[in-house]
Amino acid sequence: MSRGFFRSTAIVGITTLLSRITGLVRDVVYATVIPSVFMEVFVLANQIPNLLRRLFAEGAFSQAFVPVVAEYKTKRSTEEVRELVDSVAGTLGGFLAILSILGVLAAPLIVYICAPGFAAKEAGQYELAVEMLRWTFPYLLFVSLTALAGGVLNSYQRFALPAFTSVVLNVVMILFAAWLSPYFERPVVALAVGVFVGGLLQVFIQLPALIKLGVIRRPHWNYQHEAVKRIGKLMGPAIIGSSMGQLSVMISTGIASLLADGSMTWLYFADRLVEFPLGVFSIALATVILPSLSSQHAKESPDEFSATLAWAVRLVCLIVIPASVALFALAGPLTVAIYHYGHYRASDVEMTRLALMAFSLALLGWSMIKVLATGYYAKQNTKGPVKVAMRALGVTMILNVLVVAGLWFTGNLKTPGAHTLLALSNGVGAIMNAVLLYTGLVRTQVLRRGQALRGLLIRIVVASTLMAAFLWWFGGDIATWLTTPKLQRIVWLAGLVAGGIAIYFAALWAMGVRAGQFRLQPPATPL
């Protein structure tokens, strides 16, 4: 079973790596051709439907839909699975089509609520944001249908194609930004049009695979279907839980619009660098284990369920802890080597570097949330994560209020660098969320506490410290990086990454850590 998990995770990870690489190229193009003062308008117009996407697609819907599909696939006939998919596709699609129309009509109000600072800015950000949101909002419908198709394919152990849909979107966005934007009166609007076109393509490329599986025929509205009602009930708490995190992001976005021009852009580009390891490994791992955990729960195999989840937690610690340390240590070199071209000035680099250092502290929290939440959702328990998310949101909101009050009181609301505090407060909330999810799983005996993880963590921390020392010693200062030729930057950065990886794993090997320890252990092995 371990080999199958590794193979599936590798497939999703490699495909997601391709997605992240093309996404990185896309972001470099953005930074090169779009000034930061206008880039933050696209950040808002793209963020709003993407926040809702995480509720209806990656969040509540996937977490409710995949376990039910896995149960139907295990216990029901192919005809019943087909009726389920047709009913969910028609019902979800109809609801989100109406929501998308309302979003387009209400764009002026949505922009004003989500980014109140735009209305007072002199570069015309508010009017531009309204125009662009009307192009990007329908992406909510397209990406949710994409997630539905991906959830079905994942349940049948088809992981590559759903993961590849992000590559399609990235290629479309690169095309619109690099080649088509000069033909627009305001080049940044081309990015919004690209989101619309890319979303449509993401849906269409998965249809042949669904048709080949024979699990979809004629989508239709059917909320009376037993499983559709059950998914709807499961989605209710999950939407509340997911919305806690998304509300935190929206609050941070609204605050960032009040800060110095470019703050939203700096946060966006820093977040994209954190999303690279998060997507390549953590999201890939969570995607792979959710259908398997759901099947194990349907088969009433609690020991196998626990062993699978414990295995995933160990892998997250092995990969994500050093990744967080490396992002912090290499925040400057990464930002210069990747973004310092065209319109992206040295001041933009410095502000992005600070945000990346703050976000790197949250990478472990976000990664653990992705994996640990599957332990709840696979059991069709959506209420547990809701309670956890509400507590974490409360802490984040308090920190955000303190940040705003402090900046306003000291007269530093427009001071460059204030955005770093927003990144840090969201990181604290993510760590708290992960800790509460973990303790809840241990308390209910879904995860069994043992010495294996504690000993591994000590070794990982030691190895990560040695790696950080190497990166700090040979990394140089940001002033040197800014004056280094472009090609030399890439070579230097690649050497640092390769050296850091070599030192990390060599240190683990010297302390007795072997690859065999990360094979999926027999059921009932404690964490």
The DSSP annotation for 220-271 comes to ---TTSHHHHHHHHHHHHHHHHHHHHHHHHHHHHHHHHHSSTTHHHHHHHHH
Query: Above 70 in pLDDT, residue 250?
Result: no
| Selected residue with higher pLDDT from 153 and 354 | 354
Q: Contact 97/203 with Cβ under 8 angstroms?
A: no
pLDDT in tens, 27-37: 999 999 998 88
pLDDT in tens, 362-384: 888 888 888 888 888 788 776 77
Q: What percent of the chain has pLDDT over 70?
A: 87
Binning pLDDT at 50, 70 and 90, where does residue 526 land? very low
pLDDT for the residue numbered 369: 86
User: What is the largest distance, in Å, between two alpha-carbon atoms of the chain?
Assistant: 66
pLDDT for the residue numbered 523: 45
In Å, how far are 67, 408, 499 from 412, measured between CA atoms? 48, 6, 40
Query: Above 80 in pLDDT, residue 121?
Result: no
Query: Above 90 in pLDDT, residue 353?
Result: yes
Q: Contact 141/96 with Cβ under 8 angstroms?
A: yes
pLDDT for the residue numbered 149: 85
Amino acid identity of 208? P
Distance in angstroms (rounded) separating the CA atoms of residues 17 and 139:
23
* 123-137, 364-378, 448-462: range with highest mean pLDDT: 123-137
Query: Above 90 in pLDDT, residue 402?
Result: no
Query: Above 50 in pLDDT, residue 487?
Result: yes
